[in-house]
Structure 1
Amino acid sequence: MSEPFEDVSHWPVSRYVREVVAAQPDGRVLLAFGKLNIVVGCLLAMWLVISAPGSNLGGVHVVLLLGLPLVGFVWFLKDMPSPRLTAFEHIMREPWQRKISVGLQLVVGLAPWAAIVEAFLR
């Protein structure tokens, strides 16, 4: 008998993140920096609304902290195969491909922090 068919394109986002994204090394980096950047971006946005407008941090930093996790997620999806009507199989990539993906996710995750450091050094 053949395997049961499951259309992974109809999975909820939470299941996709849990079963696909978290299973990959670059996905774990994406999730860690994504959570951190989104929380810090929301806190920074609230702080900018409450505080005086004379600080080094501005709306562009909020956009970077909230937007780059989405860029990282799109980058991650680009590396994944398109969904098919089969049971999900973990993606087997060569070690060098995983290292490049993790490095790119680190660049995307650390970019807002580099912009914040640069703003304070000016």
Structure 2
Amino acid sequence: MKNILALTTVAIALTLSPAAFADEKVPERVAHYQGKQAADLDEALTLLRETNAELRELLAGKVGEYDMHDIHSLSYTLEEALADVREALAVAADDLESMHFYSEGLKRDEVIEYGNAYLDTVGRIVK
């Protein structure tokens, strides 16, 4: 009797486990708002500055229900802008690595090319 009860319990647990629902489609996260899209790094930085200012102003107040709604909608633009900056910094990191590599081999033209590319990207972010 104990064995039957134990087997029944295991069978029910397996039926209700997440693995039992593996064939079912899990709904994707719903995007409520469309964040503003930047055409290039400079535009992404402008969006980041402007949207950060809006967020700073909202957070400085009482942060009521309507503010929460506004903060939620701003987060989409901030996420998009940060993704653009992150991508640009990844390219800058590659340029810096190439400059480093070519400097070890005393490859003047390549050092200048990759060094300037690095400085151009980072100079727009760090002022």
Q: Sort the TM-score into its range (normalised by shorter chain).
A: 0.3 to 0.5
Normalising by the residue count of structure 1, what TM-score does the alignment of the two structures yield? 0.35
Indicate the structure with greater helix content: 2
Question: TM-score scaled to structure 2, two decimals?
Answer: 0.34
Higher relative contact order (CA 8 A, sep 6+): 1
Name the larger-Rg structure. Answer: 2
